[in-house]
Amino acid sequence: MYNNKMVTILLGQQGKKSKDLAKYLSGNERYPLSNVTREGANPKAETLEKLADFFLVSVDSFFIRDPQLPEVPQIWTFDKRVEYYERGMVAKDHIIQTLEFDRKIQSDLVEMQRERIMNLEDEVREMRELLHANNIKVPRHKPTEHPIRKDAFGWEGERPEGNK
C-alpha cells in the first residue's frame, strides 16, 4: 500500500523544498503535491520513479509492507553511494584478476602437459630406435580378455539356441 506520508517525511529529512519537488515531477513549480501526499493517493509508476530519483531512495520506500516496520527508509548520501559503487568496482576488479590468473594457470598446466607428452613420445621413439638398432623384437601387446559378464537376462556368455 502506498505510504502518502513518505514524501513529507523525506522532504523534512533531506531539507528539500516542495516547489523543487513539484518542478522535478512536472516541470512546473505549481504542480499539486497533493497528488502524492493526500490520504488515498495512488500515484502512477512513472511518478513513483521520479520521486525515488529525487530523494535518492528506492521506489519500494514509498510502500508499507509491514505495519510493524518503521516508515522511514534508509537514505544514502551521495558519498555513501559512491563508496558502495567503488567497493563493488574493487570486488569486480578482484574477480576479473582472479579469473585471469586462473586462466593463466590453466594455460600453463596445459602447456606443461603438452611438454610432458612430447617428452614421453621422444622417449618412446628413442626406445624403439634402440630396440630396432639392437634387433630386439618385442611382442605386441594383446589386450586381456574381459571376464564373462551376465547380460540383462542373467545369461553368461552366449545364449542357448532357443533363447535369442
DSSP codes joined into one string, 77-131: -HHHHHHHHHHHHHHHHHHHHHHHHHHHHHHHHHHHHHHHHHHHHHHHHHHHHHH
Structural domain contains residue 152: no
Three-point CA angle 18, 24, 29, nearest 5°: 55
Question: Helix 45-55 to helix 18-26 angle, to the nearest 10 degrees?
Answer: 130
Co-location of 48 and 23 in the same domain? yes
Instruction: Please report the pLDDT score of residue 76 as a whole number.
Output: 64
Instruction: Please report the pLDDT score of residue 121 as a whole number.
Output: 92
Co-location of 101 and 54 in the same domain? no
Structural domain contains residue 12: yes
Q: How far apart, in Å, are the Cα atoms of 111 and each of 95, 97, 107?
A: 24, 21, 6
Structural domain contains residue 15: yes
Contact 88, 98 (CB under 8 A): no
Q: Which three cell numbers stand for residue 76?
A: 544514502
Structural domain contains residue 97: yes
Mean pLDDT of successive 10-residue segments in the chain (164 residues)?
Answer: 81 85 81 79 85 84 63 61 72 79 87 91 91 83 58 55 52
Co-location of 119 and 93 in the same domain? yes
Contact 141, 150 (CB under 8 A): no
Structural domain contains residue 71: no
Structural domain contains residue 132: yes
Residue-number span of the structural domain to which 51 is assigned: 6-62
Q: Whole-prediction pTM value? A: 0.40
In CATH, what number is assigned to the domain containing residue 14?
A: 1.10.260.40
Domain stop point among 62, 84, 109: 62
CA 50 to chain centre: 29
Single-letter amino acid, residue 98: T
Looking at the 3D structure of the chain, how many domains does it have?
Answer: 2
Q: What is the CA radius of gyration of the chain?
A: 38
Structural domain contains residue 70: no
Cα–Cα distance, 89 to 99 (Å, whole number): 15
